[in-house]
Amino acid sequence: MSSRTSDVLVVGGGIIGLVTAWRAAQRGFATAVVDPEPGGGAAQVAAGMLAAVTELHYGEQTLLGLNLASARRYPDFAAELTDLTGLDLGYRRCGTLAVALDADDRAHLRELHALQQQSGLESEWLSGRECRRLEPMLAPGVRGGLRVDGDHQIDPRRLTRALLAACERAGVVFHRDWAERLDVVRERAAGLTTTDGTRLGAGQVVLAAGSLSGRLAGVPDAVLPPVRPVKGQVLRLTVPSRYAPFLSRTVRAVVRGSQVYLVPRENGELVIGATSEEQGWDTTVTAGGVYELLRDAHELVPGITELPLTETRAGLRPGSPDNAPLLGPTELPGLLLATGHYRNGVLLTPVTGDAMAHALTTGELPDEARPFTPRRFAKHLTEQPA
C-alpha cells in the first residue's frame, strides 16, 4: 500500500492525542492522527472535573504540581479554543464541595484538609449547616465539608468537539483506521502500518491511545507503556428547568470507601460518577454499578430520584503504576508517549499539549513535565531478549 509521510504522527484521537496534534500543527509540523473514530475515547464518558485540590492524594505531590499547572492554564486554553472554533466548552468556574456523611468520612476529609493546607492549597472547612446553606439539596445528615472554589469543570464532549475543529483548522490529517504496528527502521520509530495495510511514515510518532497504548504491536517491550484500563461507570441525568438550580457546584464524597461525585452543567445535565474497577477491557454497564452510584448519590442528594436518567456509560481510564502520566521521548528514538493520565486526563489536557509540543520541537520536556518522563519505567533496550 502507498506510504504517506508526516512530521508527527499521533496514535489516538482522544483528547490527549488531539491536543498533541493541534499544538504540533501550530508549531508548523505536518501532523496526522490515526484513529478509527477521532473524538471517541474516555472523554466521551468523563465528567470533566478539574479537581486538582479535591482529588489530592498522599504521595502524589509531584503530580499535584502538574495538575495545578494545567488548572492555571485552563482559562486561556478554553478562551483560545473558543475564539478559534466558535465552540463553547462548558468551562464553568463553579467550585466544588466535598462533604462527609458520617464520622469516618469526616475524619477522612479532615485529613484531606490538612494535606491541602500543608500543600499550600485553598480550601475551607464548613459545618454541615454551612454546606446545606450553599447547596440546599444536600441531605440533612451531611456532617461537614470542604469548600474548594478553585476546582472547576468543563464538558469533555464539548472540549473534544472543539479540539477536533481546531485540529482541522490547523491542517491535521485524520487517518480513520486502527494502528496495527509501529514500524521501526534502523532502531528508530519511522511510522505505522494501519490495519488496512497502509504505511504511514513519520519523523516522530506519538503514542496517545489511552488505555490501549500498551498494546501496539512493534513497540519494543522496553518502551511499551505500562498502562492498564481502569473502568469507570458514569450516569447522566437531566435536571428539568422547574428544579433549577438543583446544584450550583460539583458535590462529591467518599461513601463506604467509594468516590461519588455529582457534576451539574449549565445546560441541565447532571453527571454522576464514577465506579473504579479493574476489569480488563470490559465496558459493560452493570446493574451493580448503576445501583451503587445511585445509592451513594442518593445519600448525598436525595432529590436525584426525581430526575430522568438519560444515559449510562462506561469508559476506561488509562491507569499507570504511579497514577501519573507518561509524557515525552522514550528510549526508542522517534517514539514519544502521551498516555497514562488515569483520573486526570481532562484536567491535564492543556499542559500535555504544551509539554508535547515542546518535546516534539526540542527533544526535551519542559521543567514542569520532566518528572513524568516515560524513562522512569523504562528497561534498557539492550536488556531485551533477542
Cβ nearer to ligand GLY, comparing 33 with 293: 293
Reduced to 3 states, what is the DSSP secondary structure of residue 193?
Answer: strand
Cβ nearer to ligand GLY, comparing 273 with 350: 273
Per-residue interface string for the shown chain with ligand GLY, residues 268-287, x marking contact by CB under 6 A: -----xx-------------
Cβ nearer to ligand GLY, comparing 220 with 273: 273
> What's the closest the beta carbon of residue 69 comes to ligand GLY, in angstroms?
17
> What's the closest the beta carbon of residue 343 comes to ligand GLY, in angstroms?
3
Residues 155 and 78 sit within 8 Å (Cβ to Cβ): no
Does 49 bind ligand GLY (CB under 6 A)? Our answer is: yes
> What's the closest the beta carbon of residue 268 comes to ligand GLY, in angstroms?
21
Residues 249 and 335 sit within 8 Å (Cβ to Cβ): no
> What's the closest the beta carbon of residue 181 comes to ligand GLY, in angstroms?
30
What CA–CA distance (Å, rounded) separates 63 from 67?
Answer: 6
Does 210 bind ligand GLY (CB under 6 A)? Our answer is: no
Half-sphere exposure of 182 (CA within 13 A, CB side): 33
Question: At a CB cut-off of 8 Å and minimum separation 6, what does 28 contact?
Answer: none
Q: Tell me the site size for ligand GLY, rule CB under 6 A.
A: 7
Does 317 bind ligand GLY (CB under 6 A)? Our answer is: yes
Identify the residue whose cell numbers are 483548522: 169
> What's the closest the beta carbon of residue 326 comes to ligand GLY, in angstroms?
17
Does 252 bind ligand GLY (CB under 6 A)? Our answer is: no
Cβ nearer to ligand GLY, comparing 324 with 360: 324
Interacting residue with ligand GLY among 191, 232, 325, 350 (CB under 6 A): 232
Reduced to 3 states, what is the DSSP secondary structure of residue 175?
Answer: strand
Does 48 bind ligand GLY (CB under 6 A)? Our answer is: no
Q: What is the 3-state secondary structure (H, E, C) of 312-374?
A: EEEEEEEECCCCCCEEEECCCCCEEEEECCHHHCCCCHHHHHHHHHHHHHHCCCCHHHHHHCH
Question: At a CB cut-off of 8 Å and minimum separation 6, what does 71 contact?
Answer: 50, 52, 150, 152, 347
Does 14 bind ligand GLY (CB under 6 A)? Our answer is: no
Does 236 bind ligand GLY (CB under 6 A)? Our answer is: no
Cβ nearer to ligand GLY, comparing 24 with 53: 53
* Residue with the shortest CB distance to ligand GLY: 343
Closest CA to 16 of 375, 378, 357: 357
Does 253 bind ligand GLY (CB under 6 A)? Our answer is: no
Does 164 bind ligand GLY (CB under 6 A)? Our answer is: no
Residues 384 and 219 sit within 8 Å (Cβ to Cβ): no
> What's the closest the beta carbon of residue 42 comes to ligand GLY, in angstroms?
9
**326-329 and 335-339 as β-strands: parallel, antiparallel, unpaired?**
antiparallel
What CA–CA distance (Å, rounded) separates 151 from 145?
Answer: 14
> What's the closest the beta carbon of residue 32 comes to ligand GLY, in angstroms?
29
Q: Which residue type sits at 285? A: V
Per-residue interface string for the shown chain with ligand GLY, residues 329-348, x marking contact by CB under 6 A: --------------x-----
> What's the closest the beta carbon of residue 376 comes to ligand GLY, in angstroms?
22
Residues 162 and 170 sit within 8 Å (Cβ to Cβ): no
Applying CB under 6 A, the residues found at the interface with ligand GLY are 49, 55, 232, 273-274, 317, 343
